[in-house]
Structure 1
Amino acid sequence: MTLMIMTPSILLPGGGSDGVQIVTLVALFAAIFTVIEYTSASPSLVEFRAAPPFNRLRFGALFATVFALSIIFRGADDPSTFTQFFQVIGERIGTSIDFPYSPVRLMLVMLPATTDAEVVASMRTAAGLSYFVSLISLAVFVLILRRHAWPRRSRSFNVWVNLPTFDPTAGGDVVDRLNRDSQINLILGFLLPFLVPAVFKLTSSFMAPISFADPQTLIWTVTAWAFLPASLLMRGVALSRVAQMIYLQRKRAYAAAVADGMISA
C-alpha cells in the first residue's frame, strides 16, 4: 500500500519537498490502517477481508494503473525502451476506446477548450489505459467467481467479518437488502464513468477547473475515475453472490427440516 501511494512521487521528477512529505504521510496512514484492519478480530471498514482474492484483485488493478501511468509520464523526462513500450500500449488503447459517447471521450470533452494538445493526448492515453485495466479486473473477478465458487471454498463465509458495515439486524429480509445494495452498486458503477466528467464540466463553469498539466494530478484523478466504478461493480457482483448463497442455504435448511419431519411442507 505504501509503495503504491508513493509510486508517482518516486518515478516522476519534481513535486517539491512539501508534496513528498504529504504523500509520505498519506502512505504511512494507509499502511497503518491496512495493518490494523487485517490483524484485528473486529474489522470496521474493509469488506471481504477473509474472502480472497477480492481485495487483492482490486489492489492489483489499482497498483497496475498507478504504476503504468507513472511509467508513461516518466518517459516525458527520462525516455527509455521501457517507458516507450508503455507509452505505445497506452496510446493504442486510448485511441481505440476514444469513440463518441465513450467514457474516454467524455473525459476529453470535460477539458477546457484552451487545454494544450499535449495534455489532451496525455488524458486520452491515461483514461484509456486506466479504464481498460478496470475492465480487465472486473472480467477476472467474474471469471474467478464462476470457476472457483467464490467466496466459499473450503470454509464457511462469515458475514460479520466480510461485511462489517452491513447490519443483518437492521430490519427487513437480509437477502432482499443484499440484492438491493447489489443493484445500487451495479447502477452506480455503470453510471459513474459517464457522470464524473459531466460533474467536472458543470463545476468548471462556476469555479476554476482542475489543471491536468501536473502529471501526478492527472494520474490520481484518472485512476480514481476508473477504479471507483470498477470497485462498485465488483462489490455489486459480490453482494449478489452472498445473497444467492444465503438464499440457497435457507432452501437446504428448509428441505432438511421437512425431510426430518420438523416442519410440514
Structure 2
Amino acid sequence: MITRITGAAIRGIVVALLIAMPSLLLPDSATRSPEVIALLAILAAALTFAEYFSSYPSFVEFREAPPLNRMRFIALFLMVILVSLLARHPIEPTALTALVHSLAFSLGEVMNFAFSPIQLTGLMMPAQTAPDLVAQVMAAAALTYVIALGAIAGFVLAIRFRDWPLGNGPFNVWTNLPLFDPTTGGDVVERLQRDACINIIGGVLLPFAIPAVVKLAAGMIDPGLLSAPQTLVWVISAWAFVPASMIMRGLAMLRISDLIAQKRRAAYANAEALQTA
C-alpha cells in the first residue's frame, strides 16, 4: 500500500511539473494565465494519482508494462523542456538556450528537404509571417520530431532485446488494455492487428497531414498564433508526440497479438500431440 501511494504521488507530481514547465522556463512576459496553468497542473496530478493508486485501471493503457509509458512521458518531457528553451532564447538568451537554439536550427536545416514534415510546417505559415518565426517553428518541429523518432526506436529495441512485455513478467490484457474488450468484435488477434495498423498508419501520416489541414483551413486556424511562446511549445510538442505515441501503441498491440497467436499455436500443437498419443 505504501509503495503504491508513493508511486502514484511521484507520478502525479511529475505530471504536474510537466504542465507547469513552460511557465517555469519562459520569462514572465511570455507566459499567460499562470492561474489556469496551476489549476490544470493540479487537476492532472490528481487524475494521475487516482489512476495509479487504484487497483483497477480506468483509461491508462500499458500501466503495468514498463517501459512504454515511461518512454512516452520522457519523450514529451524532453520536447516541452527543449522547445521552451528554444522559445526563450530570443527573449532572454543564456548559454543553455543558445546551445538548444543552435542544435534545433541545425536539425531544421538538415531535415528541411522536399516534402519532409519539417518543410510542411514552414509552408503552413502565412506568407506574411516573419521569416524568423517560420525558422523558429521549423527548428522546433525538427527538434521534437527527432525526439519522437528516438522514442520509437527505443521502444523497438525494448521489444527486440528486452522481450517486451514478457521481460517484466506475465502480461495482463485487462490491466494493460482497459479499453479493449476481448469478448466482442470477432477474433482478438485480428482486432489487435487491425487496431495496430490503424495506429501505425495514422501516426506516420499525421505529421504530414496536420500542416496540410492547417494550410487548407487558414481562414479558421491562424498559424500565426505560434508566435506566442507557450502556444508554440504545446502545439509543436503535440504535433510530434501524438503521432509517435500512436506508432508506439500500434507496435505494442502488434507485439501482443503476436504473443497471443504464439500461445494459440502452442495450445493447438499440444492438443494434437495428446490426440495422437
Q: What range is the shorter-chain TM-score in?
A: over 0.9
Query: Which residue number in structure 1 is paired with residue 84 of structure 2?
Result: 70
Matches for 1:115-134 after TM superposition, within 5 Å: 115-134=129-148
Q: Does structure 1 retain, via aligned residues, the 8 Å contact 2:30–2:228?
A: no
Q: In 2, distance between residues paired with 1:167 and 1:235?
A: 16
Secondary structure in 2 matching 1:156: coil
Amino acid at match of 1:8: P
**2:201 aligned with 1:187:** yes
Structure (1/2) with the larger helix percentage:
2
- Deviation per CA, 1:114-162, whole angstroms, max 9, x where unpaired? 1011111110110110011100110111011100100112521000000
| Deviation larger for 21-30 or 172-181 | 21-30
**2:97 aligned with 1:83:** yes
Change beyond 3 A, Cα 1:134–1:207: closer
Q: Once the 2 structures are TM-superposed, how far is the Cα of residue 37 of structure 1 from its aligned partner?
A: 1.4
**2:28 aligned with 1:14:** yes
Q: In 1, distance between residues paired with 2:169 and 2:163?
A: 12
Secondary structure in 1 matching 2:115: coil
Q: In 2, distance between residues paired with 1:226 and 1:207?
A: 19
- Kindly report the root-mean-square deviation, in angstroms, between the aligned alpha carbons of the 2 structures: 1.7
Amino acid at match of 1:131: Y
Amino acid at match of 1:87: H
Amino acid at match of 1:216: Q
Amino acid at match of 2:58: S
Q: In 2, distance between residues paired with 1:206 and 1:24?
A: 29
Q: Does structure 1 retain, via aligned residues, the 8 Å contact 2:30–2:229?
A: no
Change beyond 3 A, Cα 1:253–1:15: farther
**2:239 aligned with 1:225:** yes
Query: Which residue number in structure 2 is paired with residue 92 of structure 1?
Result: 106
Query: Which residue number in structure 2 is paired with residue 35 of structure 1?
Result: 49
Secondary structure in 1 matching 2:61: coil
Q: Once the 2 structures are TM-superposed, how far is the Cα of residue 32 of structure 1 from its aligned partner?
A: 1.2
Query: Which residue number in structure 1 is paired with residue 274 of structure 2?
Result: 260
Q: Once the 2 structures are TM-superposed, how far is the Cα of residue 18 of structure 1 from its aligned partner?
A: 6.1
Query: Which residue number in structure 2 is paired with residue 165 of structure 1?
Result: 179
Q: In 2, distance between residues paired with 1:246 and 1:27?
A: 39
**2:123 aligned with 1:109:** yes
Q: TM-score, normalised on structure 2?
A: 0.91
Query: Which residue number in structure 1 is paired with residue 156 of structure 2?
Result: 142
Q: In 2, distance between residues paired with 1:216 and 1:208?
A: 15
Query: Which residue number in structure 2 is paired with residue 48 of structure 1?
Result: 62
Matches for 1:203-214 after TM superposition, within 5 Å: 203-206=217-220, 208-214=222-228
Unaligned runs of 5+ in 1: none
Secondary structure in 1 matching 2:167: coil
Q: Once the 2 structures are TM-superposed, how far is the Cα of residue 99 of structure 1 from its aligned partner?
A: 0.9
Q: In 2, distance between residues paired with 1:67 and 1:209?
A: 22
- Deviation per CA, 1:4-26, whole angstroms, max 9, x where unpaired? 11111011113688611111111
Query: Which residue number in structure 2 is paired with residue 58 of structure 1?
Result: 72
Count of matched residue positions in the alignment of Structure 1 and Structure 2: 263
Q: Does structure 2 retain, via aligned residues, the 8 Å contact 1:66–1:219?
A: yes
Q: TM-score, normalised on structure 1?
A: 0.95
Q: Once the 2 structures are TM-superposed, how far is the Cα of residue 51 of structure 1 from its aligned partner?
A: 0.3
Q: Does structure 2 retain, via aligned residues, the 8 Å contact 1:73–1:215?
A: yes
- Deviation per CA, 1:69-126, whole angstroms, max 9, x where unpaired? 1112222222221111111111101111111100011011000001011111110110
Identity %: 45
Change beyond 3 A, Cα 1:179–1:71: same
Q: Does structure 2 retain, via aligned residues, the 8 Å contact 1:90–1:129?
A: yes
